[in-house]
Amino acid sequence: MPAAPTPLRSWIAAANDAACDFPIQNLPYGVFSVGGGPRRCGVAIGDMIVDLAACEARGLLNAGGTFAAPRLNDFIALGRARWDQIRSRLTQLLAEDGDHSLPLVAMADTTLHLPIRVTEFTDFYASRNHAYNVGVLFRGPENALPPQWTHMPIGYNGRASSVVVSGTDIRRPMGQVRGEAGPEWTACRRLDLELELAAIVGADSRMGERVGVEAAEQMIFGYTLLNDWSARDIQAWEYQPLGPFQSKALATTIGPWIVTQAALEPFRSGGAPRDNDILAYLREERPGFYDLNLGWTMNGQQMCRTNYNVMYWSSAQQLAHHAVSGCPMRVGDLLGSGTISGPSRDQMGALLEMTGNGKSTVTVNGETRTFIEDGDEIGLFGFAQGQGYRIGFGPCTGRILPANG
């Protein structure tokens, strides 16, 4: 039997550790600062960040000055040819025979910021298991899956204004819920997380023009982890007929690192089996999912592990559907996949499903929970497993603060 191929290695030792999220095969983009210094763009490698603005100032890279910006939007807008150029140049500079004088900063000395200015945020509902389980809880097994669900990606327009980066504390919301004798004003009693993957749109589309699925995939720059914090008691009272509103507007946490589509390409995979034929504008020529391990933790304890390849609708299909009315898409648009849940309890991407809307409990470090308590910290994780390396997403955490009653 031939030996497994030796993966490409970097002159940065930590990047060659098989358990490191950021090997030379990954090269995810983020925005960082040091001390009170300005925000600028960087790429994670091992336990270091490549200072891309400094690289460009030295003439090592050419991105039209966009890496000195406090967000990645300007770089992303340069387009796919430039993304590929920068990626291959960075691979060369970071390889074992690369440039050992590259401007680097120790990740531990930096603050990580929102990697993009979020143009708009749309959240979908694309895991069959999740849609069915939640449908049973809210409407019973007869009407669990709405009739259009297997024919189109269902979504709602979320709030870009409340998207925050990993590590930001989240305030428990106050709101209106259904009470015994009418509406009640209360601190949310059923605060939940949603494990999701978000696609970052990397190119504009024109108003009035549809986008084919193939073209849609070419428009995606990369992916990051996304926690769609959800107030289930507020949601249950408000969601009909126009969908979630304040139950989802409190906050959405995303990871600090955007893993590029190029880094995930070797892990391309099919998704869930299809129930029925779909209209031509949504058909994919090749599978649009990734073999990507995903999960979440509560106060450091792993609660769930699932995979992105359980999903029914890919990001490219979601983008194509989003633009089908002629709605223009923009660089920096964030498309949440929808909660990612496998069939079993330890593969569920939300407490709503795991506890049957609070009917059962889960155990976390010896304590019981139905939903998230004040002081709890939720973390998401994600990685694609290669041979001798892994493409990781880094942290996506948030701790809950008590409500301002």
Is the CB of 20 or the CB of 126 nearer to Mn ion? 126
- Region near Mn ion per CB under 5 A, out of 58-66, 79-87, 120-128, 267-275: 120-128
- Region near Mn ion per CB under 5 A, out of 40-48, 76-84, 137-145, 224-232: 224-232
Q: Which residues in the 243-302 window bind Mn ion by CB under 5 A?
A: none
For residue 18, how many other CB atoms are within 10 A of its CB?
A: 12
Is the CB of 228 or the CB of 284 nearer to Mn ion? 228
Q: Which residues pair with 185 in a beta bridge?
A: 176
Cβ-based neighbours of 100, under 8 Å, separated by 6 or more: 11
DSSP line for 98-123 = S-TT--EEEGGGEEEE-SS----EEE
Is the CB of 194 or the CB of 238 nearer to Mn ion? 194
Residue 343, both tokens: 């069939």
| Min dist. Cβ of residue 134 to Mn ion (A) | 10
Phi-psi category of residue 387: left, alpha or beta, with phi > 0 → left and psi -120 to 50 → alpha: beta
Total residues contacting Mn ion by CB under 5 A comes to: 3
Site map 144..183 versus Mn ion, x via CB under 5 A:
----------------------------------------
- Region near Mn ion per CB under 5 A, out of 17-25, 81-89, 95-103, 221-229: 221-229
| Min dist. Cβ of residue 271 to Mn ion (A) | 17
Cβ-based neighbours of 117, under 8 Å, separated by 6 or more: 71, 73, 332
Is the CB of 303 or the CB of 350 nearer to Mn ion? 350
- At 30, the amino acid letter reads G
Residue 355, both tokens: 């506890």
Q: What is the largest CA-CA distance in the chain?
A: 72
Q: Among 21, 56, 194, 217, indicate the residue that binds Mn ion (CB under 5 A).
A: 194
322 is catalytic: no
| Min dist. Cβ of residue 339 to Mn ion (A) | 5
Q: Among 228, 238, 333, 353, indicate the residue that binds Mn ion (CB under 5 A).
A: 228
Give the burial string for 322-333 (b: 16+ CB within 10 Å, else e).
bbeeebebebbb
Is the CB of 193 or the CB of 211 nearer to Mn ion? 193
Which of 233, 224, 204, 208 lies closest to 216, judged by CA? 204
- Region near Mn ion per CB under 5 A, out of 110-118, 186-194, 283-291, 301-309: 186-194
Is 353 an interacting residue with respect to Mn ion (CB under 5 A)? no
Is the CB of 41 or the CB of 340 nearer to Mn ion? 340
- Region near Mn ion per CB under 5 A, out of 30-38, 227-235, 236-244, 292-300: 227-235
Which of 248, 216, 256 lies closest to 350, judged by CA? 248
| Min dist. Cβ of residue 255 to Mn ion (A) | 15
CA distance 215 to 403: 44
Is the CB of 66 or the CB of 227 nearer to Mn ion? 227
| Min dist. Cβ of residue 45 to Mn ion (A) | 31
| Min dist. Cβ of residue 226 to Mn ion (A) | 8
Site map 23..62 versus Mn ion, x via CB under 5 A:
----------------------------------------
Q: What DSSP element (H or E) covers 48?
A: strand 48-51
| Min dist. Cβ of residue 158 to Mn ion (A) | 8
CA distance 294 to 382: 4
What is residue 304's three-state secondary structure?
strand
Q: Among 51, 56, 74, 123, indicate the residue that binds Mn ion (CB under 5 A).
A: 123
Cβ-based neighbours of 289, under 8 Å, separated by 6 or more: 268, 269, 270, 271, 308, 309, 311, 314
| Min dist. Cβ of residue 78 to Mn ion (A) | 30
List helix spans (H) across 246-366. 246-249, 261-264, 315-322, 351-354
Catalytic member of 100, 113, 130, 322: 130
The residues of the shown chain that bind Mn ion, judged by CB under 5 A, are: 123, 194, 228
Active site residues: 130
